Amino acid sequence: MVLKMLLTAKTPKDSTQIIYSLVGTLTELDPNITEISSPIEQSNAFIKEVTSEIEQLNTKNKLIKLGNLALLEQKLPDLKKNIDLFIGQLTFGKIDAENITKDFNNVIQSLVKATDKLSETDPLKTDALSIISLNNLKLKNINNQITAATNQITLLERFKSITLYHLSDTINNNKENKELPLISELRRVLQKLKKGKKYDVYIALCAFFLAGYNYLATTYYYVSDHVEKIPQQISQFNDSNTFGFSARVADLSDSFLNIITIFSNFAGILALIMVVFAAVTRNITGVIMGVFLGMLCTFAPVIFKSVFENESVTYIEKTVTEYYEFYNFGLEGTIVFFVLAGVHLYMAHRKYKAVKQYKSLISKLDNEQVDNDHRLL
């Protein structure tokens, strides 16, 4: 219809109406082809994920390698289907983009012809030329998207033919190990790693504690002041007797004092019985004798002690300062404990990463097994 209008246009006013119509048509055309951009983005993420899983086969851990092989073997049919799906989406996107390119090209060419019929002084001609230039860039952008789709299709076909072929070949070469109860073995190793991680963390914490204690023990110590009584010579014999003899005299007097105290207590009990018996029998003489005997038993040890007090050993007081150091292994011990803690922390970190790897692999294998069971149903 636009072409028919161009053929019948005779005046600049007719060309103006045609230009307005063509610009409206260009506005409706979208240069962003989501049928190409979306499959390219999704297929790139898909290839990146599969490539990462394939790279995990390079591990030296045979069990992890077997687990990843089993996972990829289960996913292999779906990998090929997903690649075919992306290729189909990109092919249809290319066809749609080529059709849009034709439409853009036709409208731009029509706009160029209509613009040529305008006067050089007409401001609309300048605006139309800028619109033509801008839409030529859009047309180039669409062509770039078509080229990107073609390249992506080539990449996906090569990935399907080459990469998946090598993957299938690697899986077939490891068929002899498929009888291994893989998931149960992975879980066994996982539990072992968890216990090892807890052990390393416990050892690291203990080593840090010992390092802190050892550092404090080597830096600080406990100071205690106490008073000691030092025995001296007996004052009564200080002109002729030695300190050893004075001590023996003091020990002998203490022994006599203990004997007198025992007899005084026994006699005091007898005196109390005598007083009670005399009081019951109303024997005043017996009461007086019992009271006298009780007083004698009470004061006898005191009198004996006062008599021999001057002959006891004299003491002088001396303040003694003692320093107590806590048991420690010195600075070298602190360094050894810190190194031990660091080594076990590093080992715990490695086991933590391995635990995450095993958990992820077990989860994926379990999910794939469930999906396969549903497909069989």
pTM of the predicted model, to two decimals?
A: 0.54
CA pair distance 74, 167, nearest whole angstrom? 12
Query: Average pLDDT in the 200-216 region?
Result: 89
User: Which phi and psi angles does 223 have, rounded to 5°?
Assistant: -110, 130
Query: Average pLDDT in the 340-366 region?
Result: 89
232 falls in which pLDDT band (50, 70, 90)?
A: low
User: What does the DSSP assignment read for 78-130?
Assistant: HHHHHHHHHHHHHHHHHHHHHHHHHHHHHHHHHHHHHHHTS-TT-HHHHHHHH
pLDDT of residue 240: 46
243 falls in which pLDDT band (50, 70, 90)?
A: very low
The residue ranges of every structural domain in the chain are: 2-180, 182-214+332-377, 231-317
Q: What DSSP designation does 325 have?
A: P
User: Which phi and psi angles does 316 have, rounded to 5°?
Assistant: -120, 145
pLDDT of residue 377: 33
Alpha carbon 49 to its chain's center: 26
User: What does the DSSP assignment read for 215-260?
Assistant: HHHHH--EEEEEEEEEE---GGGTTT--HHHHHHHHHHHHHHHHHH
Query: Which carries the bigger pLDDT value, residue 312 or residue 331?
Result: 331
| Percent of the chain predicted with pLDDT > 70 | 71
CA pair distance 11, 5, nearest whole angstrom? 12
Output the average pLDDT for the chain.
77
**Under a CB-based contact definition with an 8 Å cutoff, are residues 359 and 190 in contact?**
yes
Alpha carbon 18 to its chain's center: 69
pLDDT of residue 307: 60
pLDDT greater than 90 at residue 84: yes
**Under a CB-based contact definition with an 8 Å cutoff, are residues 3 and 110 in contact?**
yes
**Under a CB-based contact definition with an 8 Å cutoff, are residues 246 and 237 in contact?**
yes
pLDDT of residue 62: 81
pLDDT of residue 10: 47
Query: Average pLDDT in the 267-291 region?
Result: 67
The per-residue b/e assignment along 167-205, b for 16 or more CB within 10 angstroms, e otherwise, is beeebeeeeeeeeeebeeebeebbeebbebbeebbebbe
Among 96-105, 188-197, 311-320, top mean pLDDT goes to: 188-197
282 falls in which pLDDT band (50, 70, 90)?
A: low
